[in-house]
């Protein structure tokens, strides 16, 4: 017999397995000896008051054991001689499109502009040590895309777009911890993701797929409104049947190429702002009302904040507890910051993007001359401004949080996790008023919502500009571009996803359509 039950434990009870078993038995009205196994299905923390609770959803096995295998199985076929599907980009959307092709019996040919995980690390070091950005190998481009060196947050609201559980189970199948199947807000960690990505690559190759690294696509050949070939930077041309375009939100050259070829694009609303970095202990004290104990029963605390300011949302984005800030630029004349956390979230800083909604129709009037690329050009200008304010290196412009809000240049800055370093700059006046003014008001309100958040011990670091794509590549009901047969815009780069899980699900859907399956 199997029964599901909800249990709440106090902080002092959480580490005591016998207490959990006793509470289960009491709730079910049975003797604890009748319980043969317990499986935790979901776990979350309720820290809304000083009496912190752990919420559990548990499957209780009475007289039987836990099944050894998941109900999810991944049956990949040998596709070495099968019909080809070309996939441009090897981030979450591209990876899961390729895996779905294997399941459906089609051969994925993946073209990735960047390098393998191991080789990519050397290029990341160059950003820190020499402030040099390789435009094809950086935090955004390379095996696994931007997701490889990210926090690996797996929270998504896209529950109707596909089977979220399947994506999670597949990550576990490829080496992620089973804890992601349990936690209310699961994450893998930047130190664990590279191995998972490598395992996915090995699966694709094992079953006959192809992955070509350092293979940047530079042109599309279109005849009679159908894509028939793609060209690479080395001059190689590949004939194609169907192409899944999963290049991510930072592949600006792809947007520019499509625009040049007069293939329809649309300007899309997005968000831009800064990274705010606090000592993690401050966030813990605010959220838990106590000091996190040495036994690590409480994880590094996070937060989620939102406020309407002058008709636009100001909100926290990609909050990284126990994490660090990294340089996410894709060219040498720009500064972009992003955040991530290791699996244990044990770094001494907490950081989050604090961003402002940019309405593509109302907020970019000065950029109308760029048409569908107006948001892209706005991004570029802000990133170049940050580069100049940072000293024309990968140092990032920064202020203490209180100085930013009060409009004062910081005479010195707090310690930071951002390894290229910070340069004191008047971000409050450098950012466009539509962003800077709203951020200053929003941060003041956040200090009222979280007593202690508004402090001179925090840094404001710019700019956080790559939250999502400012361009949408349209597609029809078959997920094809309405003007180009055989071209399937996909994932974050197409404007159809906002994170690892939603991108992965969109990759699967695009693969199904590219392979000729209307619905699976």
Domains, the chain, with CATH or none: 2-62 (3.30.70.2700), 84-264+473-514 (3.50.50.60), 267-464 (no CATH)
Lowest mean pLDDT among 10-24, 301-315, 421-435, 478-492: 10-24
pLDDT, tens digit (0-9, with 9 covering 90-100), for 242-266 = 999 999 999 999 999 999 999 999 9
- The SS3 of residue 480 is coil
Query: Rounded to whole angstroms, how far apart are CA atoms 515 and 105?
Result: 9
- Report whether pLDDT(40) > 70: yes
Q: Any idea what DSSP says for residue 181?
A: G
Distance CA 168, CA 204 (A): 18
Indicate the SS3 state at residue 187: strand
Write the pLDDT tens digit of every residue in 468-518.
999 999 999 999 999 999 999 999 999 999 889 999 999 999 999 999 987
Three-state SS string over 299-357 comes to CCCCCCCEEEECCEEEEEEEEECCCEEEECCCCCCCCCEEEECCCCCCCCEEEEEEEEE
What pLDDT band is residue 14 in, cutting at 50, 70 and 90?
A: low
Looking at every residue in the chain, the average pLDDT score rounds to 93
| Helix (H/G/I), strand (E/B), else coil: 37 | strand
How does residue 157 score in pLDDT terms, banded at 50, 70 and 90?
A: low
Question: In the structure, what pLDDT confidence band is assigned to residue 141 with cuts at 50, 70 and 90?
Answer: very high
Tens-place pLDDT, residues 98-134: 999 999 999 999 999 999 999 999 999 999 999 999 9
Residue 293, pLDDT above cutoff 60: no
pLDDT value at position 50? 77
Phi/psi of residue 266, nearest 5 degrees: -135, 140
- Residue 1: name the closest of 25, 31, 34, 24 by CA: 34
């Amino acid at each position: 017999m199997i029964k599901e039950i909800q249990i709440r434990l106090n902080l002092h009870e959480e580490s005591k397995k016998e207490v959990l078993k006793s509470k289960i038995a009491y709730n079910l009205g049975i003797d604890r000896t009748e319980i043969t196994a317990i499986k935790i299905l979901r776990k979350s923390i309720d820290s809304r008051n000083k009496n912190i609770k752990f919420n559990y959803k548990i499957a209780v096995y009475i007289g039987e054991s836990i099944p050894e295998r998941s109900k999810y199985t991944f049956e990949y076929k040998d596709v070495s001689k099968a019909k080809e599907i070309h996939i441009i980009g090897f981030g979450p959307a591209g990876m899961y499109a390729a895996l779905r092709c294997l399941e459906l019996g089609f051969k994925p040919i993946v073209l990735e502009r960047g390098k393998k995980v191991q080789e990519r690390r050397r290029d990341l070091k160059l950003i820190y040590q020499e402030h040099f950005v390789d435009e094809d190998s950086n935090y955004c481009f390379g095996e696994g895309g931007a997701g490889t060196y990210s926090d690996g947050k797996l929270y998504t609201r896209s529950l109707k777009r596909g089977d979220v559980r399947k994506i999670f189970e597949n990550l576990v199948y490829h080496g992620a911890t089973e804890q992601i199947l349990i936690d209310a807000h699961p994450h893998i960690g930047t130190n664990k993701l590279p191995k998972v990505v490598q395992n996915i690559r090995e699966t694709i190759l094992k079953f006959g797929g192809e992955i070509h690294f350092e293979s940047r696509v530079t042109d599309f050949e279109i005849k009679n409104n159908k894509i028939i070939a793609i060209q690479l930077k080395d001059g190689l041309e590949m004939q194609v049947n169907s192409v899944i375009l999963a290049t991510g939100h930072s592949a600006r050259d792809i947007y520019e190429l499509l625009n040049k070829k007069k293939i329809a694009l649309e300007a899309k609303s997005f968000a831009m702002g800064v990274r705010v970095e606090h000592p993690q202990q401050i966030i813990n004290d605010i959220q838990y009302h106590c000091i996190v104990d040495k036994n690590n029963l409480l994880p590094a605390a996070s937060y989620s904040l939102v406020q309407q300011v002058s008709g636009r949302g100001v909100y926290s984005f990609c909050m990284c507890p126990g994490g660090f800030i990294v340089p996410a630029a894709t060219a040498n004349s720009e500064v972009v910051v992003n955040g991530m956390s290791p699996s244990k979230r044990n770094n001494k800083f907490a950081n989050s993007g604090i961003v402002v909604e940019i309405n593509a129709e109302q907020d970019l009037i000065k950029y109308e001359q760029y048409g569908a690329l107006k948001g892209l050009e706005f991004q570029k200008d802000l990133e170049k401004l940050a580069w100049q304010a940072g000293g024309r290196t990968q140092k990032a412009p920064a202020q203490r949080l209180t100085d930013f809000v009060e409009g004062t240049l910081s005479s010195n800055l707090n310690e930071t996790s951002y390894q290229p370093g910070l340069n004191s700059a008047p971000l409050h006046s450098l950012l466009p008023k539509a962003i800077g003014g709203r951020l200053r008001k929003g941060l003041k309100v956040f200090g009222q919502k979280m007593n202690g958040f508004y402090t001179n011990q925090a840094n404001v670091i710019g700019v956080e500009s790559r939250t999502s794509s400012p361009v949408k590549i349209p597609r029809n009901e078959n997920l094809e571009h309405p003007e180009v047969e055989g071209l399937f815009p996909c994932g974050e780069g197409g404007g159809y996803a906002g994170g690892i899980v939603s991108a992965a699900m969109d990759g699967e859907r695009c693969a199904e359509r590219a392979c000729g399956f209307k619905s699976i």
